[in-house]
Amino acid sequence: MRTPVQDPEYPITQLNQLAARALSPGINDPGTAITCIDWYSMALARIVDRELPGKVFLDEEEGAVLLVRFSDFAGIAKAFYAPARQFARDNIPVLIALLESLIRLASLTARADRLQQIGEEARLISVTTEQGAHLEYDLRHFRRRYQQLRRLTGRLQGT
C-alpha cells in the first residue's frame, strides 16, 4: 500500500481522482472539484517558499555523499495541475479556480524557480481555456485573473 510518506504524490493523485469524478458527466459537481483545488493549494502553500527535504546518504569516512530529493516543487505542482487542467478543460469555473489557486501561491513566494513553475502552470491553463468553447464574458474574467498572475510571477524576473 502506498502512503504519503513513501510517495508524496500519492495524496495528489487521490485528490485528482476525486476532482475528475466530480466533473464526470454523470455527476457534474464543479463545487467538489473546486474544493479539491482549494485543499491542494492550501497544502502546496505550506511548501511554496520552503526548501523540500531530501535524504542524505552518508559515507563513514567522508560524511555526506549524496542528497536525494524524492520530489521537487515542479514535480508536485505538475502532478496536480496537469491532470486537473485536462479534466476541467470545458468547465470555466474550475479553470478559474485553478488559476486563482496559482495566484494565491504566487503571492506567497519570492523564489524565482517557484514563480517560474507557477507561471508555466498558469500559461498551460490559459492555453487550455482559450482553446475551449467558452463565452467571451467568462474569458474576459479569466484573462483579467491571468494578467494578475503574470504580474505576480514576473515581479522578480522583470517580465
| CA neighbor of 37 nearest in space, from 4, 63, 15, 13 | 15
pLDDT at 156: 55
Query: For residues 39 and 95, what is the distance between their CA atoms, to the nearest angstrom?
Result: 15
Q: Is the pLDDT of residue 68 over 80?
A: no
pLDDT in tens, 95-116: 999 999 999 999 999 999 999 9
Find cell 501561491 and name the residue. 105
| CA neighbor of 98 nearest in space, from 108, 115, 84 | 84
Query: For residues 26 and 49, what is the distance between their CA atoms, to the nearest angstrom?
Result: 39
- CB under 8 Å to 11, separation ≥6 — which residues? 4, 43
pLDDT, averaged across the chain = 87
Find cell 459537481 and name the residue. 29
pLDDT at 10: 80
Q: Is the pLDDT of residue 135 over 70?
A: yes
Three cell numbers, residue 28: 457534474
pLDDT at 158: 47
Query: For residues 159 and 152, what is the distance between their CA atoms, to the nearest angstrom?
Result: 10
Q: Is the pLDDT of residue 16 over 80?
A: yes
What are the residue boundaries of the structural domains of the chain, listed by start?
10-154
pLDDT in tens, 17-61: 999 999 999 999 999 999 999 999 998 999 898 887 666 666 677
